[in-house]
Chains A and B, each alone.
Chain A
Amino acid sequence: MKLEHFANDIRLTTLEMLKHKTFGHLGGSMSIVETLSVLYGKHMRVDPQNPTDPLRDYFVLSKGHAGPALYATLALKGFFDKSLLKTLNDDNTTLPSNCDMNITKGIDMTTGSLGQGFSAAVGIAKGLQIQNKNNHVYVIVGDGELNEGQCYEAMMFAVKHKLHNLTVFIDDNKLQLDGFRTDISDTADFKQRFNAFGFHTQTINGHDVHAIDSAINEAKNTKGKPTVIILDTIKGKGIKAFENRADNHHMRFSDHDNTILEETIKALKEGQS
């Protein structure tokens, strides 16, 4: 399947899930759709029938609240049945708002308290290095998540240990929960910052699957240091009326919102392969 089509399906499936639930973490789920499409559609070695295969590549969604987009991806890949997606956030569900490795097939690390998934990904990469394994570790952190001091400890560690089996994606969607990141917390340039720490850095359009594909290839060919791929993204990408809105982190859909969602879902269905 073409990566654009896979991205289309992930976006469609995620929106159907959120619309069914009537609320959820829409903005930050939409901004990572293309990256998930390229990772699970092309680069990651995973076996949906054997989710804990020791030969697999590992994925940590450090911004764990974007779980819905990852659940849609895993269901489309066949890790579990698509019907399960309708249980998102229900009582006793296996699909909680934030990712949980102990209850959801295909989730490699429990995340949600921001910053912690970054360290865990670094630890997985270090563990694979110790065991002379060539599995790759991918982690997505949010631009807001980089407020957390723990991230900088993890960066220092990753560079010191030359973890070239680690690729970090920054979902630079410019917004954190309370509003625009540059208004609230952080005006610095991520590329300069990660360069200063010693990362191999790339900045790309985070909604261009071909750019993501090339950047991952470059990361895999980089030796002696970890790579960061700064994804220039739009929070809420794909639903024009919701894009870049400061209130799209977690939305409870009004009747008007539902009309917009229905139109978007219809258009995405028409774009299906």
Chain B
Amino acid sequence: MKPPRDLRVVYQETMHELLGQNPDIVLLEADLSSAITTNKIDARFSNRIINCGIQEANMMGVAAGLNVSGLKPYVHSFAPFVSRRAYDQVFLSIGYAKRDVFILGSDGGISTEHNGGTHMSFEDIALMRAIPGSTVLEMSDDIMFEHILKQSLSFKGLTYVRIKRRGMKRLYPEDATFEIGKGNVIKDGCDATIIATGIMLEEVLNAHEQLKAHGIDAAIIDMFSIKPIDKSLLFQYAEKTGLIITAENHNLVGGLFSAVTEALSPHKIAIIDGIGVKESFGQVGLTPYLKETYHLTAEAIVKKVLSYKNH
């Protein structure tokens, strides 16, 4: 088995391969190509790797125009810059104009670490989810990201994919498959269901072990496809376990918790609660500190589950 790769390397290597296969693919950067390592892609593709400079608004409009001309743009910048910084351009020139554009937001939420509050997006998923017709995904590991990138040529409309550039642990076997709109059951269980994405899955797996010691058999679902969300899987586990807890590296407003609650609200068959960022801006720090600060930890998840199970 190959060792896990950083997700930025997955982007570089997979897009390199896809650029060679498909003459319609164009990559767009806003002066962060070295951060995502697309600057290392073979120079023979340089006419289809456009570094716009520090101009996210124009980059989104250019992406829309490239698609009008018949090309398939892949746009990257840090998560806050492709979302809140250029939101009206993404919303209108891409979303409303029904353009097929793939937007990669790197280091969403606390993953931006040392760049701090200005670069920390706890609302990117909420913003992208609110655009009609959008697809919103958060990647869990390198296997998933490569799989999704290789499917992405057929994606229609606006697709937003959030990744952590470096240091993601391997979660899936190399032959795993992924489908937009389908959640992946990581562990089955009957007492509670914990739903998470991205870096929170590591915490959820730890929480799972701790809950076992309390005699609680929790199911874990990787809901990497936040929109469209897997309603039938949610319904199945809501009915089976009666308790749904979400965990997200994002504001509770508009993210995974909101998506799950919206999907299940008509059914009234489970208690739904979540851990996530509450009414806070970002700040500087390393991941362990930031996880503690925003209560994005296994302990917080366990506490939340037990608060409903120890009645």
Flag if A154 contacts B61 (CB, 8 Å): yes
Flag if B97 contacts A154 (CB, 8 Å): no
Flag if B70 contacts A127 (CB, 8 Å): yes
Most buried by A among B26, B48, B57: B57
> Given the known A-B contacts A119-B89, A131-B71, are A126 and B57 also in contact in the complex, defined by CB atoms under 8 Å?
no
Flag if B70 contacts A157 (CB, 8 Å): no
Look across to chain B and name the residue whose beta carbon is closest to the beta carbon of A54. Answer: B70
Flag if A113 contacts B92 (CB, 8 Å): yes
> Given the known A-B contacts A123-B63, A153-B55, A156-B55, are A116 and B92 also in contact in the complex, defined by CB atoms under 8 Å?
yes
Flag if B97 contacts A131 (CB, 8 Å): no
Most buried by B among A101, A115, A124: A124
Look across to chain A and name the residue whose beta carbon is closest to the beta carbon of B50. Answer: A126
Say if the beta carbon of B286 comes within 8 Å of chain A: no
Say if the beta carbon of A125 comes within 8 Å of chain B: yes
> Given the known A-B contacts A119-B62, A123-B63, are A128 and B69 also in contact in the complex, defined by CB atoms under 8 Å?
yes
Other than the known A119-B93, A156-B53, what 5 A-B pairs have Cβ atoms closer than 8 Å?
A: A102-B97, A109-B97, A123-B69, A126-B69, A154-B61
Q: Of B57, B66, B88, B97, which one neighbours A101 at CB under 8 angstroms?
A: B97
The residues in B between 142 and 173 inclusive whose CB is less than 8 angstroms from any CB of A are none
Say if the beta carbon of B280 comes within 8 Å of chain A: no
Look across to chain A and name the residue whose beta carbon is closest to the beta carbon of B73. Answer: A123
Say if the beta carbon of B36 comes within 8 Å of chain A: no
B-chain residues with CB within 8 Å of residue A130 when the two chains form the complex: 26, 47-48, 66, 71
**Complex formed: what's the CA distance from A162 to B52 in Å?**
13
How many interface residues does chain A have, given as a range? 20 to 34
Majority DSSP secondary structure for residues of B touching A:
helix
Count of residues in B whose CB is under 8 Å from the partner chain: 28
Flag if A119 contacts B65 (CB, 8 Å): yes
A225 to chain B, nearest CB (A): 18
The residues in A between 204 and 262 inclusive whose CB is less than 8 angstroms from any CB of B are none
Say if the beta carbon of B259 comes within 8 Å of chain A: no
> Given the known A-B contacts A113-B88, A119-B61, A153-B57, are A124 and B66 also in contact in the complex, defined by CB atoms under 8 Å?
yes
Q: Of B48, B57, B58, B97, which one neighbours A110 at CB under 8 angstroms?
A: B97
Q: Of A108, A133, A154, A160, which one neighbours B68 at CB under 8 angstroms?
A: A108
Q: Mark A58-96, 1 if CB is under 8 A from B, else 0.
A: 100000000000000000000000000000000000000
Flag if B65 contacts A112 (CB, 8 Å): no
The residues in A between 140 and 161 inclusive whose CB is less than 8 angstroms from any CB of B are 149-150, 153-154, 156-157, 160-161
